[in-house]
Structure 1
Amino acid sequence: MTHAPHAPVDTRAAWAALGGDPALLARVSYRTRAGALPARLPVVDLARSCVGCCSLAAAELAATRARHSLGAIRVRVDDGAVATAFTSERHLLIEGRAPVNFAPLSRFWHARDGWLRTHANYPHHRARLCAALGVGADATVDEVAALLAERSAFEVEETVHAAGGLAVALRTPEEWAAHPQGAQVAAQPLLTLDRVDAAPPRTLSRGVLSPAAGIRVLDLTRVIAGPVATRTLALLGADVLRVDAPQLPESPDAHADTGFGKRSTRLDLTDAADRRTFDELLAGADVVITGYRPGALDRFGLAPEALAERRPGLVVAALSAWGGYGPWSGRRGFDSLVQVASGIAATEGSPERPGTLPAQALDHGTGYLLAAAVLRALTEQTARGGTRVVRLALAQTAAWLVQGARPRGYGERAQPYEADDPAAWLTEADSPIGRLRHALPPLSFDGGPANWSRPPGGWGTDEAGWLPAG
């Protein structure tokens, strides 16, 4: 059981949270670049730590399977590759077209008593937001701005939440620390990685170079953090099958960014035939990763505890926005909203004019931590067995960033990026959805892959089955 406290934002702290051998940290080297991911908070430290830990966990598993000495591991972390990967959705081009990352009603609003931010990228979220505000589905930004200027940010937060939408009032770090959810988040570790039973050790084929070769991953995640994790596991050789509900369509642009290396299918778990198909997939899975609100999948027997009981020997990873505890445990959330609630937006700007991080770093950072935790769980299983349950939350990553920040002058930012041209970490590929320009993976270790084995396909267009073994 690993419960590491919040600590300075560095690779040592993250590796300790993952239960890794501290001696292996000497195998990691860094290429730092002044001005990468410039921010008031130590965002680049978080980014390089998360990627460094993921690379180290991958190299550790690869060496274990190949029966190589762990002392021969060499991991390299380059700020240029890391910064480009953490902004991958901004670098993506699909047939020369840049994707749309935020819809018009996903933005900051000036309310009567402060600021709030909404998220309405998905049609159902936009519809719930508009219904909660009492405006038509075709409401313009100007119409919503005029309405919200007369209302309390905190009242709107609760009204929109009650309608199933997403809106969060701006808080300072001190206000979040005093909030019941913020206080509970602060008491949590960066992540938890628990052994929950005495399942026998996992047997993995030896002599392979790809760390996750032969591992089957059921991907029940959406948006950025979860898909970044599963995209990374696919890079490392896992057979990753993303499963979505047909009634919750994904943004084609978001899927194009995070669909590399994976296959994608659609199953309605309320349909008896689809449920049988899903159960067959589950019976063959080694890893299950969920990214829905805590409790949202419980009725399908997909709570972490239920999965561990149904399939001893699994690695189960549960990702959420706010954590599976406290008064906000059941709330929907995204990186941009966690930034606003946790005090990050106020720190990057001010309470009078909020700012943002230079990347959706909570999403990307948590995604690489999640992949690292799965890889470490697989390594631990080869020696000690046991079903492993991993839990992460964007809010916990945010707390690590805020609480672990080194003192820095108010408004001070790093110098301009010395390598502001990301071309060295971009490439192009043909795909079923068109010609893509995309960021290369930031993981780098001896014998590791340089790119994904397959580009993204269309969302939900693959068969619901595992690839043949071998």
Structure 2
Amino acid sequence: MSSEIIREKTRELYAQLTGVQSLPAALAVTGDGSLPSYYPVTPLVSASVAVAAQALSHLLSLRDGSTDAVTVDRRLASLWCKSSLKPDGWALPPAWDSLAGDYATADGWIRLHTNAPAHRKVVKTVLGKANNREELEPRVAKWKKAELEQAVVQAGGCAAQMFSTEEWQQHVQGKSVGIEPLFQRSLSLPAASPKWALDRERPLAGVRILDLTRIIAGPVATRFLAGLGADVLRIDPFGWDEPGQEADVTLGKHCARLNLHNPQDRHRFEALLGEADVIVHGYRAGALHKLGYGSEQRRTLSPGLVDVCLNAYGWNGPWRERRGFDSLVQMSCGIAAHGMRESGRDKPVPLPVQALDHITGYLMAAAVIQGLAQRVETHQGSETRLSLARTARELTAFDVDDAAQQPLIDAARADDFSPQPEHTVWGAGWRLLSPVSLTGTLWRWSLPASPLGSSPASWQKV
């Protein structure tokens, strides 16, 4: 029954991606366990991994007509949402800034996101200088949640007041997200025939992916694709760092920096984009357009481009340009309030992992692979849009009781990791085994994780 829940959800997701009601390949679900949540996180994570693998099986079938069976391990898929790397003799930096977290206001709860220095500065500007949460708590308690959220957001920061699921469904942005499809797809004019070999062992070898994504969904997508042999080049602006994430999400990628306000760097970016097969980006709606690289410009620079983009709060409505992260969307969409109510606790109870990010990341990877298949079949490029808020709707509407049948997934075991250590600049560590495989394909990464900005902004062989 538990495996059938995942298979059925995979079929549903694949139909939303492709319009095809049946899966192209057989799907086996192995492993056991569920992450501790009041929502079916593990089944949806597993199904999102599976749909990306199903899209790959279809892509490979375009070469010789045969489809490879897909196997997904629900335990490993869940563990990858925690951290994929176990350091040996060193420690990963903290995932959260010291000021980030949930705070009680005069009339409810709010979450402040301060991981980026600029966002931390906004909170200090609005609430006053503080070194820790204890200093901020009494100041936040004097505010009403909506007024503080507005003050932080208008100042360029990141905050989310806690709504119930019902309140979000009645909110203008919740209503907007409620009518958006999970995958918003459009096609572009045909271009030259691609020349990818579609080798079963390394299916995406020769595919160039320009990665303009940050914490966490987009990097999860491109990490997944790098494991299939794609040449992933991540571009970050100068001054942007993700110390708590780099060792986890840069696996298999080259990481460079460019300043898209600098003419010379813009020229370099345009050359890279012109040679790219895929672009994956997570800038807020309209941000690339303001830089001169809107959808039409991207297609002009790279005809046939497979373009997959992510937004936090959806692509329509008044919040389409609002800054957002997984933890903030969980507060807005009612997930944290639902956990609080179901647990009987007196504070927000979010998901046990940043599940919206990881689920959306695998769905983005599926969209890339489906776009590559479209390119092979019709030579057309495509653009696909996803959002964390729409993924949240998918999760909250997924009404199945799976966890009761499964043991809780807590810490990883020794046999969950590859027996061969990964040597990074930070030190050696063990990487989790891949959560998915095809009959003739294993996910493996040719490059260890590396710091942001550690490579030149040029295409290099993986």
Correspondence for 2:439: 446
Q: How many angstroms apart in 1 are the aligned matches of 2:111 and 2:88?
A: 28
Correspondence for 1:456: 449
Q: How many angstroms apart in 2 are the aligned matches of 1:310 and 1:421?
A: 45
Q: What's the offset of the Cα at 1:183? A: 0.5
**Which one-letter code corresponds to 2:222 in the other structure?**
T
**Which one-letter code corresponds to 1:314 in the other structure?**
L
Q: TM-score, normalised by structure 2?
A: 0.92
Q: How many angstroms apart in 2 are the aligned matches of 1:53 and 1:130?
A: 43
Q: Does 1:143 align with 2:135?
A: yes
Identity percentage of aligned residues = 36
Correspondence for 1:375: 369
Q: How many angstroms apart in 2 are the aligned matches of 1:77 and 1:407?
A: 20
- Residues 94/365 of structure 1: CA separation in 2 closer, same or farther (3 Å cut): farther
Q: TM-score, normalised by structure 1?
A: 0.90
Unaligned ranges ≥5, structure 1:
1-7
Within the candidate set 52, 59, 62, 1:61 is matched to 59
- Residues 111/240 of structure 1: CA separation in 2 closer, same or farther (3 Å cut): same
- Residues 131/457 of structure 1: CA separation in 2 closer, same or farther (3 Å cut): same
Maintained 8 Å contact 2:327/2:354: yes
**Which one-letter code corresponds to 1:24 in the other structure?**
L
Maintained 8 Å contact 1:213/1:236: yes
Q: Deviations over 1:268-324 (max 9, x none)?
A: 111111111111111111101111111112133322333124322000111111122
Within the candidate set 116, 119, 123, 1:122 is matched to 116
Count of residue pairs brought into register by the alignment: 451
Correspondence for 2:169: 177
Point out the more displaced range, 441-450 or 270-279: 441-450
Q: How many angstroms apart in 2 are the aligned matches of 1:117 and 1:94?
A: 33
Correspondence for 1:323: 314
Correspondence for 1:386: 380
Q: What's the offset of the Cα at 1:439? A: 2.6
Correspondence for 2:41: 43
Maintained 8 Å contact 1:119/1:167: yes
Q: What's the offset of the Cα at 1:75? A: 0.6
Q: What's the offset of the Cα at 1:386? A: 1.3
Q: What's the offset of the Cα at 1:450? A: 4.0
Q: Deviations over 1:219-257 (max 9, x none)?
A: 00011100011111111111000011103x212231111
Q: Does 1:75 align with 2:74?
A: no
Q: How many angstroms apart in 1 are the aligned matches of 2:86 and 2:282?
A: 23
Q: How many angstroms apart in 1 are the aligned matches of 2:443 and 2:212?
A: 26
Q: How many angstroms apart in 2 are the aligned matches of 1:451 and 1:205?
A: 18
Q: How many angstroms apart in 2 are the aligned matches of 1:325 and 1:9?
A: 29
Q: Does 1:254 align with 2:208?
A: no
SS of the residue 1:405 aligns to: coil
Within the candidate set 112, 120, 124, 2:106 is matched to 112
Correspondence for 1:168: 160
SS of the residue 1:18 aligns to: helix
Q: What's the offset of the Cα at 1:461? A: 1.4
Correspondence for 1:466: 459
Correspondence for 2:28: 29
Q: What's the offset of the Cα at 1:68? A: 4.8
**Which one-letter code corresponds to 2:437 in the other structure?**
S
**Which one-letter code corresponds to 1:463 in the other structure?**
P
Q: What's the offset of the Cα at 1:352? A: 4.6
Maintained 8 Å contact 1:301/1:307: no
Give RMSD over aligned pairs. 2.2
Q: Does 1:275 align with 2:273?
A: no
Correspondence for 1:4: none
Q: How many angstroms apart in 2 are the aligned matches of 1:330 and 1:9?
A: 34
Maintained 8 Å contact 2:24/2:57: no
Maintained 8 Å contact 1:244/1:460: yes
Point out the more displaced range, 48-57 or 17-26: 17-26
Q: What's the offset of the Cα at 1:459? A: 1.5
Maintained 8 Å contact 1:184/1:325: yes
Q: Does 1:291 align with 2:282?
A: yes
Q: What's the offset of the Cα at 1:357? A: 0.7
